[in-house]
């Protein structure tokens, strides 16, 4: 591998920026000063340093984000602030993207990565990877509502099989009837995903979603220690389990 490619993939800068670092004598390979960006190295056998600090060569990145409301789940937007703006300068990379979307007003678990293969396995309707949500809705969720979700709910504008959801009633809270009446807090697990699906599923049974939080994707569970807007890298164990449950490491 060319040295400039190795450095750029390690997040040290663009190809042109790392070439400048090399020319200025800031890069060593096995403690020997390097002047040529065309130098070929074995990424697994050499020790590369920038200003004396070891360079970690990592090409794939995985961050668990607790998304706050008000941000859009895209890499760029001309109008709204995106979830990418939450990344610290040292963690930002131009090839990172959200693996799937959460609505602007939806909070919770969002995976930021540059691993397109894993993202495909997590999001493909054929993989049936479970997504779990905590949903607060206006209205009284009953046994009949739960049975309707289990049987499948037809969404307006969507053709094909009805959308099935594993719906569990968590609590029913009675607020001031003059204000909002009954609200139900439920747990919902779905395996397919389309635009505004959760909100549309409840709307199909006559209920409006008031708040929505995603808490799980496959085996990956939202870290309770992450405040909204915070993020952290996945652990090796979390990544291995996520690859296993999504099938990404089985093909």
Catalytic residues: 103
Q: What are phi and psi of 233, to 5 degrees?
A: -70, 145
């Amino acid at each position: 591998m060319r040295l400039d490619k190795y450095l750029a993939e390690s997040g040290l800068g663009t190809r042109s920026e790392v070439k400048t670092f090399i020319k200025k004598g800031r890069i060593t390979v096995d403690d020997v000063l390097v002047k040529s960006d065309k130098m070929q190295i074995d990424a697994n056998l050499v020790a590369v340093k920038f200003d004396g600090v070891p360079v970690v060569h990592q090409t794939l990145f995985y961050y668990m984000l607790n998304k706050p409301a008000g941000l859009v789940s895209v890499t760029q937007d001309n109008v709204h602030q995106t979830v990418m703006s939450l990344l610290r300068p040292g963690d930002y990379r131009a090839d990172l993207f959200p693996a799937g979307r959460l609505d602007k007003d939806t909070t919770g678990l969002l995976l930021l990565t540059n691993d397109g293969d894993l993202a495909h396995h997590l999001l493909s309707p054929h993989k049936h990877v479970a997504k779990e949500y905590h949903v607060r809705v206006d209205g009284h969720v009953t046994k009949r509502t739960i049975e309707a979700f289990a049987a499948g709910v037809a969404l307006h504008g969507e053709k094909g099989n009805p959308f099935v959801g594993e719906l569990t009633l968590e609590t029913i809270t009675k607020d001031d009837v003059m204000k909002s009446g009954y609200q139900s807090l439920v747990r919902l697990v779905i395996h397919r995903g389309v635009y505004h699906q959760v909100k549309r599923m409840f709307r199909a049974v006559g209920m409006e979603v008031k708040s929505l939080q995603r808490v799980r994707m496959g085996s990956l569970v939202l870290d309770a220690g992450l405040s909204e807007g915070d993020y952290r890298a996945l652990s090796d164990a979390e990544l291995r389990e996520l690859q296993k449950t999504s099938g990404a490491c089985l093909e």
